[in-house]
Structure formats: C-alpha cells, structure tokens
C-alpha cells in the first residue's frame, strides 16, 4: 500500500479527466503523475531526506506530495504563517530537507526550489524512477500539530493509515466527470491532505482558492460549476453573511458541503440549511492523528434532525454524527471503562487509519489499540457522538471539574450575547476561577451581573463565572478553533476583569 498506487490507479483508470485546477486548463491524473515522476527524479538527484512544502493552495501542493511519494521520502507541508523562529526550529529537525516554496528567503540554509521551477518538471516526459518505498509502514506525510506546550509535535502518518482511510471511505472513480470541489483549507492541515487523496481517487476535480473571501468563493463556485465544497465554520459564517447581504440563495450547482475543524454554532448551521436548500450538509469529525475523518453527520442526518420534533433527534444537529464503519469510537471514564450512553467522558478511537504517533514522542496508542482524542463528550443511545470540550480546557475550581461548554451553551442563549468562550484562570485559592469572554450581540450592552445571574439560574452557583470580560471577537486559529490561552492572558496580564 502506497500513495503512489492511488495515483497510478487514477492515471490508468481515468487518464483524460481533468482533476486539478480549472476545467479547461488544469491537470489530468496522467499529467499529475508525469509531474510527480519528474519531481521524484529531481528529489533523488538532490540527495535529500524530506520534502517540505511551504506555500499556499494550488497545483504545487498535489505535485509536491506525490513527487515525495514516488521518491520514497516523507512529505511535510508547513504553515507559512509561522514566525521565523518557529519555522527555523521545525526545519532544523530534519537532516537534509528540500523546501519547495514561493518564499525561499524564509528558510535560511535549507535547500530550496521555487514552486514555479518545480512545476516545470511537468513539461518533460518522465517515467517512474522506481524509488517508492512499498513498505505500508513507511512514513507518507508529517504534519505539525500544536499541543498545549510551546513546541509543536510532528504527527506521523504512514502510507497504510492514509490508504486505509481512503479505501474505507471512498469508491474508486465514483464521481461523475462533471463533479468538482473547491478547497480553501491550507495545505498544512490534515483536511487538505485527505481532501486531495479522496477527491483524486473518486475522480472529482479539485479547484484551489488560496486566499478565501466569501465573494471570491461564491464567484468561483458559479464559474467553475462547483458541486462539492469543504469549509471550516468561519468560512460558512462569511458565506452566509455574503448571501444574506445580497438576498441570494446558494449557487444551484452545489450538491454537498462538508464542514469541520472547529465547532459550528447552531444558528449559523440553521441559516446555512435555509440558504442552501438543495445542498447536502456533512459534518466531519477527525484529527490529524486519525488521518482525518472518523465520524460523519451526513445529509440525511441533518435533514432528519432539522425536521424533528423529538428533542433527542433535533439535538443531533449539534453532534458530529456516527463513527465511520472502519473505526470504533467509544467514550471512556477515568478508569478506561466504557461510559453509559449520554454520560460524558474521554472520546477514544481505534482502527487501521488511526496513527496516534509523533516523531518526538512515539506511539500514544494504548495496549488495547485505543487512541485518546483528548476531546471530552458523550455518545447517545443511537451512536451519535457529541463533542464538548478539549480535555485540557477543563476548569478545576475548588476541586470540581467544570466543562466550559456547559457554561458557554447557557450564555450563548442570552439575547445580548453573540458568541462567548469560557476558560479557567489560574488562582491560588481556587485552582481556577471561571472567566467568561463575551462578544456582545450587535447593538447590545450586556450587564455583567445580569449574565452571571442568568447562568446561576440555569446551572449551580459553582458554575457561575467569577469574571465577565467583553471582547470584540474571539481569537481563533485559521481553522476556527478558539485560542483560550490568548483569552486567559487578557486576564492574567492585568486587564480589568469586568
């Protein structure tokens, strides 16, 4: 099993289909393979040990990824938004990398080639250099994850993890040749890697939009007759705003939109379901360490929940759906035992696509094969999974464990609150004090005491925020995950609390 097999099947089984870029001027699978062959020969000639990609979305990304596979080297896409120091530190971990980049000035001593020069290799006819490492346990891709400590870890994805995921969730050439997807997810994110492999294997053309704006996204969806899209929740918010601004519904060509990467607000989802009446929505839950999706809430699940009068079914709109058939997902208590349905605990997963490994720390999979996602949540009686909080975000106040999401869910329902995040502030007496960071609804001026009383009336006084802090917006990562440590710093670095 090797990623090269995937491209071989695509180049042989669907040679004429344009799969990367514009419908008229883009690359076919066969052309992508030629580029990868040429790229692989170049990589071999430079004697490097890793292929690093430092750039935005575009055909360079699939080219570099497959060239790495045909050359038998691991592929490491890096976030170009990282500071110089972090970037140097990550590059220094590799002995002899080749950096394919449109910003070569940023990589110090490391060997570089521009993306443009690399792409020129597509112009020379080439053949398979025969260097692919056919051991299914060879490393295919490395991705940097940021943990709660300062230094990012190198998550390891071996060929067998990625291939298990693809073979387990996609049928070869299952897309019609009119299908096309638009991608604005950055190339250093697992979702972009999985997206590339899935869509190529299915035969669905991939159109890259590097700098996302809702206006450009909608414009390209129309021009390119896009049928599928993958977005993070913040993009969906902007797309919904743009459509609402113009009093429009979503383009008719869109058959399916999948979202994930961070929590989505129910209001945004409901508005989207309204503005995209002919589109199937898919919520995908997965991690870098699990080679992307392990659970999906599909279009039928969305429709049934939206239309439901039974609150238990309706609640599933906030779930991430059910486990994919090729993995097992459970919720465990602190002793490692399965919890009862509805009871909150640690979400764990096992299956052939679960890598759960870092270069720096080795495998983190336990003796029963379980990988701890470090997400807290529960599973309902029908197997629908609800993700609540990161375990690391748990507030421990006076010895009691408090889930931020429980308080956030209450506060978001208050009419004066547009968005909020709750975090524990280190405190000598209590362990943590509870701080709620509030983004006010437009035109509203919430009273902190009103908000505290509101929470007290719904939950117990122990879960009432000690401090209310107003912010213009919540700081997030590019994929929309709230950066609680930045919010905590607002309080610990001496700003007024209320």
Residue placing its CB nearer to another protein in the complex, 136 or 431: 136
> Does 260 engage in binding with another protein (CB under 8 A)?
yes
Residue from 111, 114, 131, 167 touching another protein (CB under 8 A): that is 167
Instruction: Please list, in sequence order, all residues whose beta carbon lies within 8 angstroms of the beta carbon of residue 477, skipping any fewer than 6 positions away.
Output: 262, 483
Q: Which stretch binds another protein (CB under 8 A): 37-45, 54-62, 256-264, 442-450?
A: 256-264
Q: Which stretch binds another protein (CB under 8 A): 44-52, 93-101, 163-171, 457-465?
A: 163-171
Distances in Å between the Cα of 138 and the Cα atoms of 72, 133, 163, 273, 475 are 8, 7, 12, 42, 37
> Does 33 engage in binding with another protein (CB under 8 A)?
no
Distances in Å between the Cα of 20 and the Cα atoms of 55, 76, 325, 396, 400 are 17, 20, 29, 49, 52
Instruction: Please list, in sequence order, all residues whose beta carbon lies within 8 angstroms of the beta carbon of residue 440, skipping any fewer than 6 positions away.
Output: 416, 417, 418, 446, 470
Q: Least separation, in Å, of the C-beta of 231 and another protein?
A: 12
What tokens does 262 get?
Answer: 């961070």
Instruction: Please list, in sequence order, all residues whose beta carbon lies within 8 angstroms of the beta carbon of residue 208, skipping any fewer than 6 positions away.
Output: 20, 21, 57, 58, 59, 61, 182, 183, 184
The contact pattern for another protein, residues 418-457, with x = CB under 8 A and - = no contact, is ----------------------------------------
Q: Least separation, in Å, of the C-beta of 248 and another protein?
A: 25
Residue from 19, 119, 269, 296 touching another protein (CB under 8 A): that is 296
Q: Least separation, in Å, of the C-beta of 325 and another protein?
A: 8
**Cβ of 111: how many Cβ atoms within 10 Å?**
14
- Say if residue 285 is exposed, middle or buried (CB neighbours under 10 Å; 0-12, 13-18, 19+): buried
Residue placing its CB nearer to another protein in the complex, 287 or 420: 287
> Does 324 engage in binding with another protein (CB under 8 A)?
yes
* Stretch 216-245 residues interacting with another protein (CB under 8 A): 228, 230
- Say if residue 98 is exposed, middle or buried (CB neighbours under 10 Å; 0-12, 13-18, 19+): buried
> Does 264 engage in binding with another protein (CB under 8 A)?
no
Residue from 92, 134, 270, 462 touching another protein (CB under 8 A): that is 134
Residue from 58, 280, 448, 475 touching another protein (CB under 8 A): that is 280
> Does 258 engage in binding with another protein (CB under 8 A)?
yes
Q: Least separation, in Å, of the C-beta of 478 and another protein?
A: 18
Q: Least separation, in Å, of the C-beta of 192 and another protein?
A: 9
> Does 31 engage in binding with another protein (CB under 8 A)?
no
Residue placing its CB nearer to another protein in the complex, 171 or 310: 171
**Cβ of 340: how many Cβ atoms within 10 Å?**
11
* Stretch 47-66 residues interacting with another protein (CB under 8 A): none
Residue placing its CB nearer to another protein in the complex, 300 or 473: 300
Residue from 104, 298, 336, 475 touching another protein (CB under 8 A): that is 298
Q: Which stretch binds another protein (CB under 8 A): 2-10, 267-275, 465-473, 486-494?
A: 2-10
**Do the beta carbons of residue 85 and residue 108 sit within 8 Å?**
no
> Does 136 engage in binding with another protein (CB under 8 A)?
yes
Q: Least separation, in Å, of the C-beta of 177 and another protein?
A: 15
Residue from 282, 402, 438, 455 touching another protein (CB under 8 A): that is 282
Q: Least separation, in Å, of the C-beta of 319 and another protein?
A: 14
Q: Least separation, in Å, of the C-beta of 35 and another protein?
A: 21
Q: Least separation, in Å, of the C-beta of 283 and another protein?
A: 8
Residues contacting another protein: total by CB under 8 A: 45
> Does 171 engage in binding with another protein (CB under 8 A)?
yes
Distance CA 23, CA 4 (A): 24
* Stretch 179-208 residues interacting with another protein (CB under 8 A): 191, 194-195, 197-199, 202, 204
User: What residues pair up with 18 in beta bridges, in sequence order?
Assistant: 28
Binding site for another protein (CB under 8 A): 1, 5, 8-9, 12-13, 134, 136, 159-160, 163-164, 167-174, 191, 194-195, 197-199, 202, 204, 228, 230, 256, 258, 260, 280, 282, 284, 286, 292-293, 296, 298-299, 324-325, 352
């Amino acid at each position: 099993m090797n990623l090269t097999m995937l491209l071989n099947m695509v180049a042989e089984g669907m040679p004429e289909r344009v799969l990367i870029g514009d419908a008229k001027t883009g690359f076919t699978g066969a052309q992508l393979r030629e580029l990868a062959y040429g790229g692989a020969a170049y990589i071999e000639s430079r004697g490097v040990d890793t292929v690093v990609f430092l750039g935005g979305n575009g055909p360079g990304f699939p080219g570099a990824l497959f060239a790495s596979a045909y050359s038998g080297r691991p592929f490491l896409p890096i976030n170009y938004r990282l500071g110089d120091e972090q970037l140097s530190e990550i590059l220094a971990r590799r002995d002899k990398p080749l950096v394919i980049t449109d910003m070569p000035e940023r990589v110090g001593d490391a060997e570089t080639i521009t993306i443009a020069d690399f792409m020129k290799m597509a112009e020379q006819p080439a053949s398979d250099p025969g260097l692919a490492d056919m051991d299914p346990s060879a490393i295919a891709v490395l991705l940097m994850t940021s943990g709660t400590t300062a230094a990012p870890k190198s998550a390891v994805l071996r060929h067998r993890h990625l291939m298990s995921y693809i073979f387990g969730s996609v049928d070869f050439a299952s897309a019609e040749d009119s299908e096309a997807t638009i991608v604005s997810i950055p190339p250093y994110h697992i979702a972009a890697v999985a997206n590339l492999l899935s869509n190529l294997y299915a035969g669905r053309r991939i159109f890259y939009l590097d700098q996302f704006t809702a206006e450009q996204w909608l414009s390209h969806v129309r021009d390119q007759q896009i049928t599928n899209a993958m977005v993070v929740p913040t993009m969906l918010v902007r797309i919904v705003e743009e459509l609402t601004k113009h009093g429009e519904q979503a383009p008719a060509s869109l058959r399916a939109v999948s979202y994930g990467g961070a929590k989505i607000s129910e209001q945004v989802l409901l508005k989207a379901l309204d503005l995209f009446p002919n589109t199937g929505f898919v919520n995908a839950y997965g991690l870098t360490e699990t080679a992307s999706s392990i659970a999906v809430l599909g279009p039928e699940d969305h429709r049934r929940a939206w239309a439901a009068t039974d609150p238990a079914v309706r609640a599933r709109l906030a779930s991430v759906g059910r486990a994919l058939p090729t993995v097992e997902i459970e919720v465990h208590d602190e002793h490692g035992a399965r919890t009862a349905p509805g009871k909150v605990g640690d979400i764990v997963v096992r299956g052939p696509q679960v890598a759960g490994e870092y270069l720096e720390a080795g495998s983190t999979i336990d003796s029963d094969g379980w990988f701890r996602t470090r997400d807290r949540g529960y599973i309902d009686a029908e197997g629908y999974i609800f993700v609540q909080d990161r375990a690391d975000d748990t507030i421990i106040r006076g010895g009691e464990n408090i889930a931020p999401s429980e308080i956030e869910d209450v506060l978001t329902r208050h009419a004066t609150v547009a968005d909020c995040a709750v975090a524990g502030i280190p405190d000598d007496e209590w362990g943590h004090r509870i701080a709620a960071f509030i983004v006010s609804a437009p035109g509203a001026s919430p009273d902190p005491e009103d908000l505290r009383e509101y929470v007290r009336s719904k939950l117990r006084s122990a879960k009432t925020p000690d401090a209310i802090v107003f912010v213009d917006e919540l700081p997030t990562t590019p994929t929309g995950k709230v950066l609680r440590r930045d919010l905590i710093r607002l309080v610990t670095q001496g700003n007024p609390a209320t």
